[in-house]
Amino acid sequence: MAYRYLFGPVPSRRLGISLGIDLVPHKTCTFDCVYCECGRTTDLTCERREYVPTDRVIAELDDFLAKAPELDYVTFAGSGEPTLHSGIGEIISFIKDRYPRYRVAVLTNSALFTDPDVRAALMPADLVVPSLDAVSEEVFSKINRPCRGITAEQVLEGLLDFAREYTGEVWLEIFIVPGVNDTEKELRLLKDAVIAIEPDRVQVNTLDRPGTENWVRPASPEAIERIAAMLGGNAGAIGVAYAGRTLPPESEDIGETILATIRRRPCTPRDLATLLGIRPTEVAKHLRVLEARGLIEPVEEERGVFYRPT
C-alpha cells in the first residue's frame, strides 16, 4: 500500500523512532508562527472538519502496524495543526484498541483546547506535547499570529482545562524568540503558567532550522539554560541532535526516509547522518538524487546548508 497520510518512521529528537500521521493539508493551521520550520501558513483557520478521509488514515495505519514495526511512538504531527481534524479522536481510539502496544503522541499548538470535543478526543493518547510561547496578548499575537478569534487568554484557559482532565503525560513546549518572549515580564508570566499547568516536563526550544520570518534568530545555549532554570526544576532544553536508537539502514528505503524527514523539517547533511546513523557520503548521495528529482533544495543558514522540500 502506498501511504499518503503516514510518514516515516523518522528519528525524532524527543520521541525516538516515530511514525508520523499528517491529518491536514500542508500548512493548514490555527497559527502562522514566525518561527515555523514548515513555512508560512497558507490556510489560517479555526474550522474543525474531516480534512482527509478518516477511514483512509485508519486503513493505512492498519496496514502499517499489522507488520509489527519497532516504534517508540505513533505521532500526530506533520505540517499543520492535527486537532483541526474532526476524526482525530476516532483514529487515536483505533490505534489504542487495535494496537495497544504502541504509544500515541500528539503535538499541538494548544489553540483548540477550549473545545471540549478536542480535549475528549485526545484523552486516549499516551503523551500530549502542547506549546505555549506567550501569555500576554501582545507577544502572543507577534509570535503565533493566530486565526481570528483565538486569544492568549483562551489558549491558557484551554491548556489548564486539558491538564486537569488528562491522565497521560504532558510535555509543555516553550519556543523562545529572542527579543520577543524572553523579557523578564513575559518569562514571569510563562513561569506562572507552568506552575498552574503542572506539566510532566517543560521543553525549552529555539530556532535550529530556517523559520518562516528571516528576522527570527536562535537564542544562545546559555540563554536557553538560564530560561529553563528560571522556569522550574523539570524544565530543560531540547537538544539539537537526536541521540537515540537509529533506523537500520539495511531495512529502510534511506532515500524515502531522508525525504520524509526533510518534509517534516529542514535538515543539514550532518543532521541526517546523525539521525539515521549512516555515513555522510551516503547521505550526500541520496541528497543529490532528491535534488536532481526536484524534491528538495539547499538553503544557506548560519549553521550550514539546510535542505528543505521544494
| CATH number, domain with residue 285 | 1.10.10.10
Asked if 238 and 250 sit in the same domain, the reply is no
Q: Are 254 and 278 in contact (CB under 8 A)?
A: yes
Is the peptide bond prior to 9 cis by the omega test (within 30 degrees of 0)?
yes
Asked if 232 and 268 sit in the same domain, the reply is no
Cell of 17: 523512532
Number of H helices, E strands in the chain: 10, 12
Distance of CA 33 to the CA centre of its chain: 13
Q: Report how far apart, in Å, the C-alpha atoms of 165 and of each of 84, 119, 124, 130 are.
A: 20, 8, 12, 14
Q: CATH no. for residue 70?
A: 3.20.20.70
Asked if 295 and 207 sit in the same domain, the reply is no
1 assigned to some structural domain? no
Q: What is this structure's pTM?
A: 0.82
Asked if 176 and 80 sit in the same domain, the reply is yes
138 assigned to some structural domain? yes
Asked if 214 and 257 sit in the same domain, the reply is no
Asked if 204 and 254 sit in the same domain, the reply is no
Give CA angle at 293 (257, 275), nearest 5°. 25
When divided into structural domains, the chain yields a total of 2
* DSSP tag of 131: B
Asked if 18 and 165 sit in the same domain, the reply is yes
Domain that holds residue 284: 246-310
Length of the chain: 310
Amino acid at 158: G
97 assigned to some structural domain? yes
Q: Of 243, 272, 301, which one is at a domain's C-terminal end?
A: 243
Residue 186 β-bridge partners: none
52 assigned to some structural domain? yes
Q: Are 172 and 194 in contact (CB under 8 A)?
A: yes
Residue ranges of the alpha helices (H) in 24-178? 54-65, 88-98, 116-121, 137-144, 152-165
Asked if 131 and 200 sit in the same domain, the reply is yes
Asked if 210 and 294 sit in the same domain, the reply is no
Asked if 233 and 221 sit in the same domain, the reply is yes
Asked if 144 and 292 sit in the same domain, the reply is no
Instruction: Give the residue from 178, 162, 231, 165 showing the smallest Cα distance to 202.
Output: 231
Rounded to whole angstroms, the Cα distance separating 14 from 1 reads 28
103 three-state secondary structure: coil
Digitized pLDDT (tens) for each residue of the chain, 310 residues in all: 678 888 878 777 788 888 899 999 888 999 999 999 877 899 999 999 999 999 999 999 999 999 999 999 999 987 899 999 999 999 999 999 999 999 999 999 999 999 999 999 999 999 999 999 999 999 999 999 999 999 999 999 999 999 999 999 999 999 999 999 999 999 999 999 999 999 999 999 998 777 788 899 999 999 999 999 999 867 777 754 444 444 544 445 788 878 877 776 778 888 788 767 678 888 888 898 898 888 888 887 766 788 888 7
